[in-house]
Structure 1
Amino acid sequence: MTVAYGCVLVAILLPYLCTVTAKVASGRYNRRANHDPRGFLDSLEGLPRRAHAAQLNSFEILPGFAAAVIIGHLAGGAAQGTLDALAVAFIISRLVYIACYLGDWARLRSLVWFVGLCLVVSVFFVAA
C-alpha cells in the first residue's frame, strides 16, 4: 500500500475521531442518547457541536480526496512521491482544520479548508 492510500484510510477515520470528541466533550452521552445518536448530536452546543460539524465536513470532503488519490494512481502521470506528499499535506490540513473548528477559529478554519481543497485539486493536476 502506498502512503497516499494510507492517507485515504486516515481520512476515513478522521470523522469518527470528531464524533467521539463531540460525544465525550458533551459529558452527557449515555445509553439513552445512543438510541438516537443523530438527534443527540444535533442538540449539542459549543465545543461538542463544533466537533460534530467537523465530523460532517470530514465526511463531505472524503469522497473527493479518495477519488483524487485513486485517479492519481491510475492515471500514472505523477511520481509516487508527489502523490504521497500531496496526500500527507491533505491529512495535515484536515488535522489543522479540525483543531481550528474545535478552537472556534472561523477565519483560519476557512483558510485551511481552502488549502485542503486546493490539495485535492492538485492531485488531479499532477496526475494529468
Structure 2
Amino acid sequence: MSIAYWCILVTALLPYLWVFIAKRSGERYNNRNPRGWVAKQEGNYKVQRANAAHLNGFEAFPAFVAGVLMAQLAGVPTDTITPLALGFVAARILHGVFYLADKHSLRSFVWLLGMLCAVALIVLAALRVA
C-alpha cells in the first residue's frame, strides 16, 4: 500500500511544481500580491498555463485521495490500487506538461484518464462495501 501513499504525496506536491514554473516564467515575481501578479501576466501564456495547471492539480487532488483511502479501507487488493494510483500520477504529470506545451487535446485526454483512475478507486471501494 505504501506506493499509493507515495502517490498521494507526489500529487499533493505537484501543483507547487507548476506554480514554481509560473513564477519563474514571468516578469519579476511579486510575493506580496501573487494573484495580482498572475493577473498582470496576461500576455505571458506560459505563466497563465502553468498557473492553470497549478490550480487544476488542487482540484483533482481530493477525488484521488478519497479514492485511495476508500479503496484501502474497503479492502480492495493492493495489486488493484497501485496501478490506478500510479496511473493517476502519470496522468497528472502529463496533464501539466501538456498544459505548458499548449497541447489542449492531449491535456484533456490525460485529465480524463487521471479522473477515471480516481473514479475507479471510489467505485471499487463502493462495490466492495456493498
The answer to whether TM tops 0.5 is: yes
Scaled by the length of structure 2, what TM-score is found? 0.90
* Deviation (angstroms), 1:126: 2.7
Residue 105 of structure 1, aligned match among 103, 106, 110 = 103
SS in 1 for 2:51: helix
Question: Could you list the per-position Cα deviations for residues 89-119 of structure 1 after superposition, in whole angstroms to 9, with x for gaps in the alignment?
Answer: 1000001110100000011111111111111
Aligned counterparts, 1:62-101, within 5 A? 62-76=61-75, 78-101=76-99
Residue 116 of structure 1, aligned match among 106, 114, 122 = 114
Kindly report structure 1 stretches of 4+ aligned residues shifted beyond 6 Å: none
SS in 2 for 1:34: coil
* Deviation (angstroms), 1:34: 0.7
**Equivalent-residue separation in structure 1 for 2:63 and 2:39 (angstroms):** 25
Q: Which amino acid aligns with 2:66?
A: A
* Deviation (angstroms), 1:125: 2.6
* Map of 2:34 onto structure 1: 37
**Equivalent-residue separation in structure 2 for 1:113 and 1:43 (angstroms):** 27
* Deviation (angstroms), 1:43: 2.4
**Equivalent-residue separation in structure 2 for 1:99 and 1:27 (angstroms):** 21
Aligned CA-pair RMSD: 1.2
**Equivalent-residue separation in structure 2 for 1:79 and 1:4 (angstroms):** 12
* Map of 1:57 onto structure 2: 56
Please tell me whether the aligned partners of residues 66 and 122 of structure 2 are also in contact (alpha carbons under 8 angstroms): no
SS in 1 for 2:100: helix
* Map of 2:28 onto structure 1: 28
**Number of residue pairs the alignment of both structures matches:** 124
Q: Which amino acid aligns with 2:90?
A: I
**Equivalent-residue separation in structure 1 for 2:51 and 2:118 (angstroms):** 23
* Map of 1:2 onto structure 2: 2
* Deviation (angstroms), 1:27: 4.1
- Percentage identity across aligned positions? 40
* Deviation (angstroms), 1:55: 0.3
* Deviation (angstroms), 1:67: 0.6
